[in-house]
Structure 1
Amino acid sequence: MAFWRWVVIGFVLSAWGYMHVQSSEAYDASIEPLTELLQFAEDEQLAVNEWQVRVREDQLGSVSKQAFIAKTQSLEKKLSGWEKESLSLEGSEWKALFTYHDPNQQMTESVQLFAYQDGQADQHTALLTYAVKGTSNPGEDLESHQNLVEQRIQQLGLAQSDVYVQIQAYDHNDRNVSNKQLARTWVTKLGAKKVEALDEESFVSLSAYNPDWPTGIVTNELEMNVQLAIREQGLGARTTVTLGTPIITTEY
């Protein structure tokens, strides 16, 4: 139960340094579940309103404040044309955020350099994260989006890093079954077996394991790499469905 409560609070970027995910060795194998999740949404008549891919370097090693600034400047050169949203060097956490919005493709990319204090006042452990978020189902543009993400990963030196894939959709259908049963059915259709579950009045969350997907985490000594959440917004309102591998990385 505690595991799920922690995830619901939000798996924010700044917390990624404290959780290990088993990395896949090939990027294309890691992102393949995105195709499957989008196809699943289409088969189940779910209206996709968002998809995202996040790639995180586990650790870049210890850095001083000067080294962090130098890394930020290096990123700024690599990301020509991007906007430097913020740079914070105060306190025990340092952050630099760059974004790029492509209105033609209806997606936004972001790169964050993050460092947290690792015991010494003048030394921090640095992490680098790349994320891309799109609205609606990309359809025929999916392949070009995947190619772009792969190029960014190579550009940023993240080819051996952890990959997180996620979609969010709305369900406007009258299923005539409980959300608990629906979650179990959907996980089975995704080729996964249930590991943990949380069932509340208007919210159901289920973790599971699909042996064909390349990444995973361990919770309560069991491996998982599929997470499904169903949340009802109220009587007569839409139902939100969130699917992620190996874990959902945003609040849901």
Structure 2
Amino acid sequence: MKKTITYIMFVGLILIVLGNSTSVAKNKQDIEKIIELLEANINIEISDWSVYVREKTLMIDTRKDFNKEVKKLQKIFPDFTWTITTEDKKWTATATYVDPKTNLTESLHLMSSQEQSHIVSYMIYEAKGHSWNANYSSFIEGDFQGRKKVIFRGKPSTFTCIKGTFNDNIDTVLSSKSIRLLDLFQAEEIESVKEPHFISMSARSNMFTETLTHESLNLQFALRTDGLGKKTTFVVGTPIITFEY
């Protein structure tokens, strides 16, 4: 009887731990989910990453509104380098900052243009870097979330993209590696382009909430290789790839 009770308690403890692990994973940002899964299951080297946030803003109706918004952002981000371009029907403000310690690059773009009788404006914020380390993870969880709160007013769209290489020398065809990625992200293939040395795939995964279409497409990846035994490059993005591939 004691053995039975002990076994039940042990199983219950495992379920609690697993439940907590799942909860933590769900609360993490998409870029952390993707990188942690890749690094834990595949021998990879990350070369570039980006988190890109975009929102259509309705707060700008005139050139005066645009200037007011730019001045507000300049006060919030005084360390950024600003460039402002104005034309008859198009106004653009761009700001960039490169952290000298981490080499992480942040950029802001406010773009307004007159279309027919009204003004259409977009606010874009992007953080990007090379490789990946604990400093970047801390930034995404901390400063990045704070920036989003002061920059955007509604529910902006977020695009995450990671680029790198497989470091294994296993002679597997690209189709096998694409299946491996689908399994890793618990994803269902929606559409794909498959060639001997290149595969591009769009999929649906319950791991990510950001979607692009009515089909709930929320994951894309591309693989390219020079042949069996050669280096394989990959790009993974949610809901879509934003890097050139």
TM-score (norm 2): 0.80
Shift of 1:228: 0.5
Between the aligned partners of 1:115 and 1:203, the Cα distance in structure 2 is: 38
Q: Report the alpha carbon displacement of residue 70 of structure 1 after superposing the two structures with TM.
A: 2.4
Q: C-alpha distance in 1, partners of 2:186/2:120?
A: 37
User: Which of 1 and 2 has greater Rg?
Assistant: 2
Alpha-carbon distance, 1:214 to partner = 1.3
Structure 1 residues 31 and 63: alpha-carbon distance in aligned structure 2, compared to 1, 3 A threshold: farther
Where structure 2 has 5 or more consecutive residues not aligned to the other structure, the ranges are: 1-24
Aligned residue number for residue 208 of structure 2: 213
CA drift at 1:82: 0.9
Is residue 2:236 matched to residue 1:243? yes
Task: Flag the structure with more relative contact order, 1 or 2, with Cα contacts below 8 A and sequence separation at least 6.
Answer: 1
Task: Summarize deviations over 1:21-76 as a string: whole Å, max 9, x none.
Answer: xxxxxxx9686221121112212111011222111113335522332222222211
Say whether 1:151 aligns with 2:146: yes
* SS of residue paired to 2:73: helix
Correspondence list, 1:52-67, <5 A: 52-61=50-59, 63-67=61-65
Q: Residues 90-125 of structure 1, C-alpha deviation per residue, up to 9 Å, x if partnerless?
A: 2644321101110212211111001233223xx421
* Partner Cα separation in structure 1 for residue 43 and residue 88 of structure 2: 47
The residue that corresponds to 2:179 in the other structure is 184
Deviates more, 1:93-102 or 1:172-181: 172-181
User: Could you report, residue by residue, the CA deviation over 1:117-170 in whole angstroms, capped at 9, with x for unpaired residues?
Assistant: 3223xx421110111002111236513432110111112135622111121111
Aligned to 1:88: 85
C-alpha distance in structure 1 between counterparts of 2:27 and 2:60, whole Å: 27
Moved more, 142-151 or 222-231: 142-151
Equivalent in 72, 82, 92 of residue 70 of structure 2: 72
After superposition, the Cα gap between the structure-2 partners of 1:157 and 1:236, relative to the gap in structure 1 and judged at 3 Å, is same
**After superposition, what is the alpha-carbon deviation per residue over 1:191-227, rounded to whole angstroms, capped at 9, x for unaligned?**
1111110123432111111123211111xx5221111
Letter in 1 for 2:113: Y
Structure 2 distance, partners of 1:140, 1:104, is 10
* 1:20 aligned partner: none
Note closer, same or farther for the CA distance 1:196–1:82 as it changes in structure 2 (3 Å cut). same
Unaligned runs of 5+ in 1: 1-27
Q: Distance in 2 between matches of 1:34 and 1:48?
A: 12
Distance 2:203 2:229 in 1: 29
Give deviations 1:173-194, integer Å, cap 9, x for gaps.
Answer: 2232221331122122111111
Distance 1:156 1:45, change over 3 A: same
Which of 214, 219, 222 is equivalent to 1:226? Answer: 219
Q: Structure 1 residues 158, 109: closer, same or farther in 2, change over 3 A?
A: farther
CA distance 1:98–1:105, change in 2 (3 Å): same
Q: Is the 8 A contact 2:170 2:229 kept in 1?
A: no
Match of 1:102 in 2: 99
Question: For the structure 1 residues 117 and 236, does the alpha-carbon distance in structure 2 shift closer, same or farther, using more than 3 Å as the test?
Answer: farther
> Residue 228 of structure 1 contacts residue 242 of structure 1 at CA under 8 Å; is this kept in 2?
yes
